[in-house]
Amino acid sequence: MLTIYTAPSCTSCKKAKDWFLRHQISYNERNMISSPLTETEVISILAMTEDGVYGVISTRNRFVKQLNIDFEELSFSEMVRIISENPQILRRPIIKDDRRLNIGYNEEEIRTFLPRAVRTIENRDARLRSVI
């Protein structure tokens, strides 16, 4: 099942949810501010990223700056604990299923969550439109 980790005032989260609704893809929503990720969930997300901690943390975020932490200096367990205790430092939305992870809203990247048959049809239609 698809899960979208969101924050209440996040416009990218709203765009992602609207995109899934338009494409009739069901999902579970989890407000990661009121219901922070567990350390196990943080580890699961980090394991799926290509960029490690910097793929999930919003380094320009004021909360990250307030923490004044060099994440490269932390042990893995310290980093996981800090992320779990400070969900406001995470980039949003985090979209995850059993095999895929997408962080942030990017309409091209989010398409990977479309069922394969739908992606095939849409890609074929796009190629036909570009020929015409």
Distance of CA 45 to the CA centre of its chain: 9
- Active-site residue, selected from the candidate residues 10, 53, 57, 94: 10
Annotated catalytic, 13? no
CA pair distance 64, 83, nearest whole angstrom: 10
CA pair distance 68, 97, nearest whole angstrom: 32
Return all residues near 96 (Cβ < 8 A) that are at least 6 apart.
Answer: 2, 3, 5, 44, 45, 48, 102
Catalytic residues: 10
